Structure 1
Amino acid sequence: MTFLNAIMLLGLAAVAIPIIIHILNRRRAQLVDWAAMQFLEESLTSRSRRILIEEILLMLLRCLLLGMLAFALARPFLRTGRLLVADTADAQDIAIVLDGSLSMTLESAGASSFQRAADEARQVLEVCRAGDAVSVVLAGPTAQPVVATPLSDLDAVRRELEGLRPAGGSMDVPRALNEAVRSLAAGSNLAKKIILITDGHKIGWDLDGRKRWAFLAEEAKESLPAAPVVIVRTLQIPKQWRNVCVGGLRLARAVVGTDRPVRISVTVANTGVGDLEPEGVRLAVDGVELEARLPTAGGQARPTGRIAEGASATVEFDHHFKASGPHVVSAAVLCPDDLPGDNQALHVVNVLKRLPVLVIAGERSTRPLGGDADFLQIALAPPSEERPDPAENLIEPKLVVASDVASVKDFDEYSVVVLADVPRLPASAAERLARYVQGGGGVLIAPGQKADKDFYSGWTGPDGKRITGCRLVEFIDLPVADGAEQRFVHVAPNTIDHPALKLLADPSVSDLASAQIKRRWVLASDDEPGVSVGAAMDNAEPYLIQRQAALGFVLTLAVPLDREFSDLPVHECYLPMVHELVYYLAAPSQPPMNIQPGQQIAFPIPGQISHGDVAEVFTPDGQRHAAELRQRRPDAHRGWLATFSHTAAAGLYRLALPDKALGELATRPAVARNADGVGGVPFVVPGNPEESKLLTLAPEDYARAAEFVNLKRAETLSELTHAIKGGVPGSEIWRVLAVLCAALLLAEILTTRAIALRRQVHLARPVAFGTDQADVEAFRERARQLLQTPSPRKEVPAK
């Protein structure tokens, strides 16, 4: 507590006045001896005690009255918060950053955290002074400038806040603050402030990314006259809340075809407080509900509905997509909770009818299964009882001998290219294949004994780096000595780290580890970004090396895929291994249907585009926006491309195109327009499952951020508003003291009146000796007689 008129505290000396008067009154009393006093001592003692109490009570009331009056005149100021920013009279530019993440939809006291954040933003506008200008940034996975430049028209800013909705996903704090700095740079005032209103969720702050925070500090230093004050207002979230979320929706294969079913795994997690028991998990495809199943918790053999706090469970479905094209798969957990926004997950599956694969073999053979790629070709399109015709398989292989590779006009017509024991490629073909990988194509290299190690080790891409990501050191052939046992090496399952081989890593379900390798290449991986060893053999030599080249991947095996070098083709794992490798390499060549927040939608148009055709996108909030139509680059696929960049919000997007541009896709259930006219090719921006865990920031986390920016924490709304309008959070309490003074004065008057009535000091009680009819003379005479009559004496008995 402070005093705005402290000199008036000298008035507290007046408290001594009632005490002095009380002492002086007691000293002024005189003692008078009176013979009859002995009969009244007992009565006077009781009366004196009561009088003393009454006088002390009156004295205290008068002292309190004078003291309270002195306090009121001193104007006491009671602080309710801290002074975050030094007061200044200059106009200021203010950037308000609203946390629009999924966790801000959590409700408390009938309002979501985002609604409370918007209300506090309006309170900030109310306390802005003349000349202040305000901009607004909606922070989510990307930063959306709602009011891009600071406006002094605060009513316009209020209107923008009215229709604002959370973006979903996780808030990227460094990106949001960078956007706020850019908006402040467009303002004209010298004083700069950033207000971040959030629920304190730790996800998205990226405190380990020190380079990003250092870039933010450097950006603010270069673009602003002074480093802005970043005021973080952290809203309170409930301590007890219930939440179960869909933590993931994953398909067993990266490429899905119409040839066979695919397994869909749904992960359900309990991120709230206390155990929960969902009714089940429901799977739907293109809006058609298929079935609902109970989740299976970890370590349990049978499905159970109960999920313990902090635990997760899995539900698995098998579904056969009969039609090619995009399909929207949704998984929803049936459980009412406090954060319903994460109870559903969406995933777009682009189902293929054909997956063209080009197999380039070193040479043909007239012997059955004697060629370099004969086993591989059969494995890619195997006949079966259900599909006796190989043409019904998803993978459509085309075999070309290395000497005829010049006949391949365009590698872009194939999703994957396989080099099976190819000695070397012509320079033109090697250059075109390198560009093919850079554009998103996949290449699988299985070099044989005839492979030219100088060619593969010197084969570089447009970036000047080795296209294979490794060197072919030497070819090893394990000879058999007379009378000696054949020596082999094997793939070590515990070294498998590549996604395409994960299904084969368990020896209990795969026989990959038993495959005998007798001839192989020794590979030496490059120490370059994007190069990794996906599996090794039991002699520690690499078995598979991957290199990511721009958009595509190259996989190099140490062993060819035919029978001459290992017995792998006769093992059960051979077919699924070949298929998984092809699916993995083909995935980047497919248009991405599940994209990250802020990633551009880029859809290659399969049909025709005419002059005047337009493309538009329906966003998750129901808004309609124009998309861009442009021709593809000459060095990439031919045709047209539809692009859209505003994908900050999590949810389902639909790219609407004319039917002739979509071709047969226009008839697919996931693409066709509904009764409201909404339709188009679906795309999904997934949310971040970590957003559902509500991990709040600790004081040391704020301290780490404060190493790069001038960060202040506003614990109350009062601290926040005073940081804008100036002054110290708090209020004067002299009015309260004035009311107390009036109450004390009234109490003193009433107490004085009550004491006076008790003592009856204002009344004179008359004493009457006899009546008016009494004879005074007769009374006097009777008195004389009584006085003259001697009083009778008692006789004292003789001793």
Structure 2
Amino acid sequence: MITFSNPILLGGLAAVALPILIHLLHRQRFKRVVWAAMRFLQVSLQRNQRRMRLEDLLLVVLRCVLVALLALALARPSLRSETSGLFGPSKVTGVILLDHSRSMGVSDGVRTRFDLAKQAAEQVLDALPAGSAVALWWVSDTVQPAIPEPTLDLNLVRKLVREAPWTDRSTDLWPGLQRAVHTLQRRLSPAKAIYLITDGQAQAWRHWPQMQQLLETAREQVATHIILVGEPELANVGISNLQLAGGLCPVRQPVRFEVQVTNYGRNEARHIPVRLSVDQELPCDEFTIEALPGGASQSVALFARLSSSGFHAVTARIPSDRLPADDVRTLAVRAIQDVRVLLVDGDPGSEPRSSETFFLRHALVPVPPDRASDYFIRPTVVTVPELAQVRFDDFDAVILANVAELPETELAALAAYVRRGGGLMVFLGDRINATFYNEVLGKRLGLLPAALGDPRGQANQQDQFFTLQAQGYEHPIVTLWNDPAAGTLSSARFYRAFELKELDPTGPAPRPTPTAATDGQTQPEPLQASRGNEAGAPRVVLRFADGTLAMAERAWGQGRVILFASTADTAWTDLPVRPAFVPLLHRALGALVQHQDQALNPPVGGSFAWHLPPDYLDRDALVSKPGQPNAVRDLRRIEMLQGRPTVRYDQIHWAGLYEVSVPDPPLTLRFAAQADPAESNLEGLSPAQLEQLGRHVTVTTWRPGAALHSAATPAGTHLDLWLPLALVALAVAVVEMCLAQWFSRPK
């Protein structure tokens, strides 16, 4: 069967008519003239007329053949044979897609799936016909071209296959397949092939409809071979999450961590010891899960003490199984010596218990009075008139409790404080000037994550109340209560609360307007000097049971703002006397104080960015990767970002602890990359899916030692015809030129 690489150029065959048209248009035309000697010329013409017509016809035919040959050669025809012995094996132009995602780390005790995949890739190279060209790409949820375009140097490809790195990235084969098909469709080779070497994990085929359509559409031009390696493995238990449960991470205090263990298999797993350690030391806490049903998850609360302030690595472990990568998870935390909180009391009351900040003070320091001085949270209470003598920069967070409004000078200082990284928490109440909050804090500054509507409910009718949502917590501040063992938020009663109107997260953030600064503060930046949109997208933290907004937050500048719909005392709600109030307040405070610390645990495949003091600008930082102490460390320049010196690192391919060090002045940062827990689900494609896939591609299950000649060699063979056609066209052109010269000689 003949196929064409450029079938559109077959339209050039229509040009065969051009020599005929030119011949017809330029035929000699005679004018009849009667004169005496005409009979002698007529005898001569009749004698040569047959020969001249044959000569002209021969030249026209040669010219038509020449045009046809050129059109066919440009269309690049190839002769395809279903048998391999007619012309011998064809040269292949191909792309090898080598899956190096986390699931490829499954081991049989001797070799991992990735080891087998590299062996299979070498088998493909050995089986390719001589003269083939191959590109090599490492694929996961992204494409990393080791050799971007097909090369004839198969030894180089083999070397890079052996050096290919396994990573902790998740799997999505759609980008790699799509890019490989488009790359090969631009090539003019008659035999084009994709060799996808993977473990068949169903997670990797999440774009199943699009992938099916792509492979079906491309199969006439590109042959796709899917080579499956490794034995099916369904049983797997892994650590799916590790998080700081309390929100704050003080030194020398018991810090609670939540470890989530998931059984990804179908059978029950028993006696799973979960251990917690700090900085690679001996385990400091342990708990044994007696039974974990298939497909279930269980959270375990473990405690640790951090001996010093600064960066620490907290690691949870369970016994290793066939996929050891998910049996350990590391969290980077920054321990703090103390937290200084400024409480602005909008209604001090006549006695301590009637103060707006009474319950806040006790919830922030939930220890007996004789131990309060040793506790790490240190609250300071002031009234609005006393703010003029306060330096906001002396505090880690500011809480406004039923504050009617702020003077212009204090407002400017507070905005500058949040811009530089301070935290602001706002509780509402009966003294609130809603116009000030909406027009100034909301529209003018963009500080508030929601707009204030009218209050609803009656504080004095306590038989009528509304409650908080009971499940489906998504924001990190409240995800703790997804575990029933942590208690509940829905038991709190709200008798009155402001209606919070959600803002459009895609809308433009308000820009600050000019406000004067005071000498009593640390020279706040003029509000008109705002750089770009300082207000981040508002986020819902918590809702009431009827779906209305109860708590929201947003980033603003380098800081963060949290807004509650009700009061901080018991005037409108009994939440302050509920057990959940202390952890809710501490987790909200942690979100304010350790706002930048969220960057310490980026996802694998993400990026890390950390703001540094001005002294480090334009210095070089060295980054060491997890599990590679002797590897070459990456160098990164500390550059200005968002007006602050920042170190950035985006080559996060492995889960675990990374270390960033700057030699002068000495500084060490730590961050821990978190792998996608979905990669721990080892369920593969179903037999029905494999059968459906086999209609469009060749699916081969490879075992060590097996040959891959049938998969690597194209079905049938191809013989390129464009070069012979071009040579014949050249010969015809020479013959036509010689004959035209010969026929035009004088006779």
The answer to whether the superposition gives a TM-score over 0.5 is: yes
| Residue identity in the other structure for 1:450 | R
* Partners of 1:356 and 1:148 in 2: CA distance: 54
2:76 corresponds to: none
Instruction: Using structure 1 for the length normalisation, give the TM-score.
Output: 0.62
Are the aligned partners of 1:147 and 1:157 in contact in 2 as well (CA < 8 Å)?
yes
Counterpart in 1 of 2:433? 452
Matched residue, 2:679: 691
Alignment check: 8 A CA contact 2:247 2:586 kept: no
3-state SS in 2 of match to 1:448: coil
Match in the other structure for 1:474: 454
1:104 maps to a residue whose letter is: M
* Aligned residue number for residue 162 of structure 1: 162
SS at match of 1:197: strand
Letter of the 1:649 partner, please give it.
W
Give yes or no for the alignment of 1:656 onto 2:636. Answer: no
- Give the corresponding residue for 2:498: 521
Could you tell me which amino acid in structure 2 is paired with residue 341 of structure 1? A
Say which SS state the counterpart of residue 338 (structure 1) adopts: coil
- Are positions 1:338 and 2:322 aligned together? yes
**Superposition deviation, residue 196 in structure 1:** 1.5
Correspondence 1:489 to 2:471: no
Contact 2:93–2:133 at 8 Å: present in 1 too? Answer: yes
Cα separation, 2, equivalents of 1:610 and 1:470:
37
Aligned to 2:337, which of 343, 353, 371? 353
CA distance in 2, matches of 1:703, 1:452: 67
Deviation at 1:593, TM superposition (A): 2.0
The one of 241, 245, 269 aligned to 2:238: 245
* 1:630 maps onto 2:638 in alignment: yes
Distance 2:483 2:258 in 1: 19
1:82-97 paired onto structure 2 within 5 Å: 93-97=93-97
User: Post-superposition shift, 1:197?
Assistant: 0.7
Offset of residue 275 of structure 1: 5.6
Structure 1 residue 716 displacement after superposition: 5.4
Residues 190 and 630 (structure 1), Cα distance of their counterparts in 2 relative to 1, 3 Å cut: farther
What CA distance in whole angstroms lies between the structure 1 residues aligned with 2:478 and 2:416? 26
Match for residue 371 of structure 2 among 382, 387, 409 = 387
Instruction: Indicate whether 1:602 and 2:609 are aligned.
Output: yes
The reply on whether 1:559 has 2:566 as its aligned counterpart is: yes
How big is the shift at 1:601? 2.1
Of 540, 545, 550 in structure 2, the residue corresponding to residue 543 of structure 1 is 550
When normalised by structure 2's length, the TM-score is: 0.66
Conserved? CA contact 1:496–1:536, under 8 Å: no
Q: 1:230 to 1:356 in 2, by over 3 A?
A: farther
1:643-685 Cα shifts (integer Å, max 9, x gaps): 22111122332223226332xxxxxxxxxxxxxxxxx533222
Change (3 A) 1:266 1:607: same
Instruction: From the superposition, tell whether residues 506 and 691 of structure 1 become closer, same or farther in structure 2 (CA, over 3 Å).
Output: closer
- Any conservation in 2 of the 1:650–1:684 contact (CA below 8 Å)? yes
Look up the equivalent residue of 2:674 and give its one-letter code: P
Equivalent residue in structure 1 for 2:599, among 592, 595, 618: 592
> Which amino acid in the other structure matches residue 600 of structure 2?
M
Q: Give the Cα–Cα distance (whole angstroms) in 1 for the partners of residues 221 and 441 of structure 2.
A: 48
Q: CA deviation at 1:428?
A: 8.9
Residues 340 and 492 of structure 1: is their aligned pair in 2 closer, same or farther, counting only changes over 3 Å?
closer
- Report Cα offsets for 1:381-427 as digits up to 9, x if no partner: 456357331xx43334455655777888887x865443322334578
Instruction: Summarize the Cα distance change of 1:388–1:357 in structure 2 as closer, same or farther, 3 Å threshold.
Output: closer
Deviations 1:355-387 (A, max 9, x none): 344545547668646554454345334563573
Q: Using the TM superposition, name which of 539-548 and 194-203 deviates more.
A: 539-548
Question: How far apart in 2 are the matches of 1:699 and 1:118?
Answer: 25
Give distance in 1, aligned partners of 2:565 and 2:150: 61
2:309 aligns with 324
Residue 120 of structure 2 corresponds to which residue in structure 1?
A: 120
SS of equivalent to 1:348: strand
User: Residues 324 and 353 of structure 1 are in contact (CA less than 8 Å); yes or no, is this contact kept in structure 2?
Assistant: yes
Residues 620, 653 of structure 1: 8 Å contact kept: no
Matches within 5 A, 1:384-783: 384=368, 387-389=371-373, 392-397=374-379, 416-424=397-405, 443-458=424-439, 468-476=448-456, 478=458, 487-492=463-468, 494=470, 497=473, 499-501=476-478, 517-526=494-503, 528=505, 534-537=541-544, 542-546=549-553, 554-590=561-597, 592-605=599-612, 608-609=615-616, 614-622=621-629, 623-633=631-641, 635=643, 638=644, 640-658=645-663, 660-662=665-667, 681-698=669-686, 712-715=697-700, 721-722=709-710, 724-728=712-716
**Partner SS, residue 231 of structure 1:** strand
Alignment partners' CA distance in 1, 2:155 and 2:457: 81
Please tell me the residue identity of whatever aligns with 1:616: V
Q: Is the 8 A contact 2:254 2:305 kept in 1?
A: yes
Q: Which has the higher contact order (CA 8 A, sep 6+)?
A: 2
Instruction: Give, as a single letter, the amino acid of the residue that structure 2 aligns with 1:201.
Output: Q
For 2:698 and 2:441, locate their aligned partners in 1 and report how far apart those are by CA, in whole Å.
53
Structure 1 151/380 Cα, relative in aligned 2: closer, same or farther at 3 Å?
same
Aligned length in residues? 599
Deviates more, 1:142-151 or 1:541-550: 541-550
Residues 1:426 and 1:159: Cα distance change in structure 2 (over 3 Å): farther
Could you tell me how far apart the structure 1 residues matched to 2:248 and 2:129 are? 59
- The one-letter code sitting in structure 1 at the alignment partner of 2:686 is A
Unaligned 5+ segments in structure 2 are: 1-81, 507-536, 718-747
Question: Residue 726 of structure 1 aligns to which amino acid in structure 2?
Answer: P
- Deviation digits for residues 766-787 of structure 1, max 9, x if unmatched? xxxxxxxxxxxxxxxxxxxxxx
Residues 197 and 229 in structure 2, CA contact (< 8 A), matched pair in contact too: no
Q: Give the aligned partner of residue 773 of structure 1.
A: none
State the SS of the aligned residue for 2:602: coil
Paired letter, 1:630: I
What displacement does 1:261 show? 0.9
Q: How does 1:134-149 map to 2 (within 5 A)?
A: 134-149=134-149
Equivalent position amino acid for 1:329 in 2: V
Q: How does 1:57-68 map to 2 (within 5 A)?
A: none
Letter in 1 for 2:363: A
1:64 maps to which residue?
A: none
Partner AA of 1:253 in structure 2: G
- Structure 1: how far apart are the matches of 2:179 and 2:148? 9
The separation in 2 between residues aligned to 1:507 and 1:724, in whole angstroms, is 54
Provide the secondary structure at the position in 2 that maps to 1:248: strand
- Max Rg structure: 1
Is the Cα contact below 8 Å between 1:591 and 1:604 reproduced in 2? no
How many Å separate the matches in 2 of 1:179 and 1:260?
A: 52
Cα offset, 1:96, TM superposition: 1.4
State how far apart, in whole Å, the 1-side matches of 2:662 and 2:221 are.
46
Is contact 2:618-2:639 (8 Å) kept? no
Q: CA RMSD in A?
A: 4.9
Secondary structure of the structure 1 residue equivalent to 2:666: helix
8 Å CA contact 1:493, 1:505 repeated in 2: no
Change (3 A) 1:618 1:489: same
| Superposed CA offset, 1:623-646 (max 9, x none) | 2232323244354xx4x3322211
Residues 617 and 640, structure 2, Cα contact 8 Å, conserved in 1 = no
